[in-house]
Structure formats: structure tokens, C-alpha cells
């Protein structure tokens, strides 16, 4: 668990809350950010502006935290936003380019506490490049969670299933879809047995 002790000078930490859809990644991010907010520690939470679902970071259980929507390719704006903050939160990190990793390393060297959440794997079961790069950092504390499989209802889901009008999408679907709900696309957590690739 991330505590205020991780704010010691020159002792940066990076915690990555990851797993499939509906496993509590954002819930953990928001819960930890609220601890630092209650301590009145300067913090910021970023989310990619391409995620248009909500203006805040919100868990499925309804827990909210204010977030700044930011252009994922504007590293100057990202640096400016996080510069004076001791705690940095990032939601949906899988949407950011892999170049974000060098920025995270710089902030670790500056003694920052970094809390991020995002999917580890895409609907095919392949790792998102940015998630993979973050997990490869030796400093990263990985907190991977499981979810309840939407088919068998067991707490063993490790994968995210993309559906279009209730049917699994073909493997050649793009890794990232923008405004996917308009096309009847939904996502659900699935275990290995019930995860389908067509």
C-alpha cells in the first residue's frame, strides 16, 4: 500500500494498478489519491483527453476524483501540469505513448510519488506497449487485480473482452477505439476459458 512515507526526499515511488476491465484499478487509484488529498499534499490527477466518457476519474463504484484531461502527446503541457506536485496520478495510462515512461523516470528521480492505473492487456490478450514499458521499470510496484468473469461469474477474470452488438470482435479490430460506444462496442471482464478471439 502506498503511504505518506513514500514522500521521503529523493525516494520516488511508482505504483501501477492494473488488470482487466472492472477489476478495481481506478478505485484503487482514487482511494490512494484521496489519502494524499486529506493530508493536503500537492497532487494532480491526469487522464487522456481522448477518453471522453467522463470529466473526472470515476470508479465503477462511483468514487470520484477531479482530473485534468490532457493531450497525451503534449509532453510540455504534461510537464507543466505535474511540475509543482508531489503526487502524480494518471488514469487510463495505456492510452499514453511509451514516451511517457521517460517522463515518469524523471519524476521518480525528483522524489515524486506516482500512482497510475490502466489496462495491462488489450482485447486480444496482448500487452499495451505503454503498460508493458511501465511494468519493465525496476522501480514499478505492480498491483495486478482480477475481476469477476461476466460468463462464469468466477473471480478469475484476467482478460478484457471487446464486444460489438454483444458478439466478440475480430482479431484485426484496432487496438484502441475512440468513441467506441457509438458503434455498439462494449467491454467486459472474462477468464481465460471464456475469452474469445474471432
Give the DSSP H or E segment for 60. none
Which residues, including other chains, have CB under 8 Å from residue 10's CB and lie 6 or more apart?
111
CA dihedral (104, 109, 111, 117) in degrees, to 10, reads 20
For residue 162, count CB atoms less than 10 angstroms from its CB and return exposed for 0-12, middle for 13-18, buried for 19 or more.
buried
State yes or no: is 92 an active-site residue: yes
Query: Which is the catalytic residue, given 92, 107, 139, 196?
Result: 92
Q: How far apart, in whole angstroms, are the C-alpha atoms of residue 83 and residue 133?
A: 22
Q: Which residues are catalytic?
A: 92
Amino acid at each position: 500500500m502506498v503511504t505518506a512515507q513514500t514522500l521521503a526526499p529523493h525516494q520516488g515511488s511508482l505504483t501501477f494498478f492494473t488488470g482487466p476491465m472492472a477489476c478495481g484499478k481506478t478505485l484503487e487509484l482514487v482511494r490512494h489519491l484521496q489519502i494524499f488529498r486529506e493530508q493536503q499534499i500537492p497532487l494532480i490527477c491526469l487522464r487522456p483527453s481522448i477518453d471522453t466518457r467522463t470529466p473526472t476519474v470515476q470508479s465503477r463504484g462511483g468514487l470520484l476524483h477531479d482530473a485534468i484531461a490532457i493531450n497525451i502527446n503534449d509532453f510540455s503541457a504534461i510537464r507543466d501540469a505535474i511540475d509543482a506536485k508531489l503526487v502524480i496520478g494518471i488514469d487510463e495510462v495505456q492510452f499514453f505513448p511509451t514516451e511517457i515512461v521517460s517522463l515518469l523516470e524523471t519524476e521518480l528521480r525528483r522524489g515524486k510519488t506516482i500512482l497510475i492505473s490502466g489496462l495491462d492487456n488489450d482485447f486480444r490478450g496482448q500487452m499495451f506497449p505503454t503498460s508493458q514499458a511501465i511494468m519493465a521499470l525496476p522501480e514499478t510496484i505492480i498491483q495486478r487485480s482480477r475481476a469477476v468473469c461476466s460468463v462464469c461469474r468466477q473471480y478469475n477474470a484476467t482478460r478484457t473482452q471487446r464486444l460489438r452488438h454483444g458478439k466478440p470482435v475480430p482479431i484485426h479490430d484496432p487496438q484502441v477505439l475512440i468513441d467506441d460506444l457509438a458503434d455498439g462496442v462494449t467491454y467486459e471482464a472474462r477468464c481465460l476459458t471464456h475469452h474469445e478471439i474471432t
